[in-house]
């Protein structure tokens, strides 16, 4: 029961640790900064309540924390203001004060909901992330982006609110449905395309080991993504410039999620198709070599991720959703496009006909 790695997101007084390891929920003092006598509220979903909740509650109580719990419905369709109000109501009913700590046990949906609730309850309380999906372990739990969905757009209501700590227990992945594991791989591949060609080559060689949850491979994979994201957050916490690169594939992918109805496409599945569309856009513009395009598509396919969008969604229907994207400025869609494996840039004023062509080619 040893912590494999401890990284830090460096943000001055708001810096926080990321602990990565196997079975580390049972480690003493892992729930930093909680101390004996502190008040806390564990928030999870119905699925995880049966799998992991009691284990976490046991260790929190053993360490002397006064812990209450909220169990929410499971799924992207429940990432709403209504569900968040259940958290706020429970905090008020149980008389949680400003020195309470919220604990998010779950994937990106729970992390986003709990982080947002923490940012607004009594104008801001602490929260701890315990991400249980690969997607949340490599991406969503780090960086302080919190929020809920609106019928007209994904993550349109939210705030930046950094956690006090992130606890990544790779053993949680053993209980993850296989399609959820594959979904998380999309975000891993995204990091490699944007920042690190060597990591991309490593993924090409080790994708089977990751999918079979080989401990050495999955630990390295998660650590690498956490390092890349931590560096970026430290440089650009509120997505003024560099951090926007992490949205590779998301402008197209969010359109698929909203159009299809939240939860019908897993986030990573939609992002995979979004990466294909962004990559195709870059190739059509002459930025990306065909050879790199083929390698990207090849890796997504080998991971078992989709490379074609929904059959019932026309190319033209993507545009209204893309126009509501948070990166839109002065009415212009801004796209993150790969220009080689390991490098991406943000482009404005991309010809809409090129965007439509790229989408059509990926249907």
Whether 94 sits among the annotated catalytic residues: the reply is no
Tell me the CATH number for domain 3-175. 3.40.50.1970
Whether 360 sits among the annotated catalytic residues: the reply is no
Residue 74 in marked binding region: yes
Residue 325 in marked binding region: no
More confident residue, 164 or 242: 164
The residue annotated as part of the active site, out of 190, 259, 267, 334, is 267
Q: Is the pLDDT of residue 44 over 70?
A: yes
The residue annotated as part of the active site, out of 66, 243, 327, 360, is 243
Whether 254 sits among the annotated catalytic residues: the reply is yes
Q: Residues 192-212: what's their mean pLDDT?
A: 98
Over the chain, what is the mean pLDDT? Answer: 95
Q: Is the pLDDT of residue 327 over 80?
A: no
pLDDT digits (tens, 9 = 90+) for 147-164: 999 988 889 999 999 999
The residue annotated as part of the active site, out of 126, 224, 229, 334, is 229
Measured in degrees and rounded to the nearest 5, phi and psi for residue 331 equal 75, 10
Query: Widest CA span of the chain, in angstroms?
Result: 61
Whether 267 sits among the annotated catalytic residues: the reply is yes
- In this prediction, residue 332 has a pLDDT band, given cuts at 50, 70 and 90, of confident
Q: Is the pLDDT of residue 330 over 80?
A: no
pLDDT digits (tens, 9 = 90+) for 291-320: 999 999 999 999 999 999 999 999 999 999
Provide CATH 3.40.50.1970 ranges for the chain. 3-175
- In this prediction, residue 260 has a pLDDT band, given cuts at 50, 70 and 90, of very high
* Weakest mean pLDDT among 4-8, 128-132, 335-339: 4-8
- In this prediction, residue 264 has a pLDDT band, given cuts at 50, 70 and 90, of very high
Token reading at 144: 């302080």
Whether 250 sits among the annotated catalytic residues: the reply is yes
Residue 80 in marked binding region: no
Provide CATH 1.20.1090.10 ranges for the chain. 178-360
Q: Is the pLDDT of residue 33 over 50?
A: yes
Whether 247 sits among the annotated catalytic residues: the reply is yes
Whether 150 sits among the annotated catalytic residues: the reply is no
What pLDDT shows up at residue 3? 59
Q: Residues 267-279: what's their mean pLDDT?
A: 98
**pTM for the whole thing?**
0.94
Q: Residues 66-94: what's their mean pLDDT?
A: 96
What pLDDT shows up at residue 213? 96
- In this prediction, residue 331 has a pLDDT band, given cuts at 50, 70 and 90, of confident
Domain range 178-360, CATH architecture: Up-down Bundle (1.20)
Q: Residues 57-61: what's their mean pLDDT?
A: 95
What pLDDT shows up at residue 1? 46
Q: Is the pLDDT of residue 344 over 70?
A: yes
Residue 76 in marked binding region: yes
Residue 267 in marked binding region: yes
Whether 59 sits among the annotated catalytic residues: the reply is no
Residue 281 in marked binding region: no
The residue annotated as part of the active site, out of 123, 174, 240, 290, is 123
What pLDDT shows up at residue 27? 84
Residue 110 in marked binding region: yes
Whether 187 sits among the annotated catalytic residues: the reply is yes
């Amino acid at each position: 029961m040893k912590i494999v790695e401890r990284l830090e997101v460096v943000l001055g007084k708001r810096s926080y640790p990321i602990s990565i390891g196997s079975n580390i929920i049972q480690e003493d003092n892992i729930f930093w900064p909680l101390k004996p006598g502190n008040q806390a509220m564990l928030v999870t979903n119905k699925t995880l309540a049966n799998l992991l909740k009691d284990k976490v509650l046991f260790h929190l109580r053993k360490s002397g924390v006064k812990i209450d719990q909220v169990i929410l419905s499971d799924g992207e369709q429940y990432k709403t203001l209504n569900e968040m109000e259940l958290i706020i109501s429970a905090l008020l009913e149980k008389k949680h004060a400003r020195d309470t700590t919220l604990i998010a046990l779950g994937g990106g949906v729970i992390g986003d909901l709990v982080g947002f609730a923490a940012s607004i309850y009594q104008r801001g309380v602490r929260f701890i992330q315990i991400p249980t999906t690969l997607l949340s372990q490599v991406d969503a739990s780090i960086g302080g982006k919190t929020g809920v969905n609106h019928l007209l757009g994904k993550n349109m209501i939210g705030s930046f609110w950094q956690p006090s700590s992130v606890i990544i227990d790779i053993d949680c992945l053993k209980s993850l449905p296989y399609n959820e594991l594959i979904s998380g791989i999309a975000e891993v591949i995204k990091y490699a395309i944007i920042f690190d060609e060597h990591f991309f080559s490593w993924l090409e060689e080790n994708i089977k080991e990751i999918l079979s949850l080989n401990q050495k491979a999955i630990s390295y994979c998660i650590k690498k993504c956490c390092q890349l994201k931590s560096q970026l957050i430290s440089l650009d916490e509120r997505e003024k410039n560099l951090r926007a690169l992490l949205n590779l594939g998301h402008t197209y992918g969010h359109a698929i999620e909203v159009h299809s109805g939240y939860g019908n496409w897993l986030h990573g599945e939609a992002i995979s198709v979004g990466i294909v569309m962004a990559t195709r856009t870059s190739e059509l513009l002459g930025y990306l070599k065909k050879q790199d395009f083929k390698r990207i598509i090849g890796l997504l396919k080998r991971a078992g991720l989709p490379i074609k969008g929904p059959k019932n969604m026309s190319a033209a229907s993507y545009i209204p959703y893309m126009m509501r994207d948070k990166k839109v400025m002065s009415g212009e869609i801004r796209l993150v496009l790969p220009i080689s494996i390991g490098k991406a840039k943000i482009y404005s004023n991309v010809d809409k006909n090129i965007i439509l062509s790229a989408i059509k080619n990926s249907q």
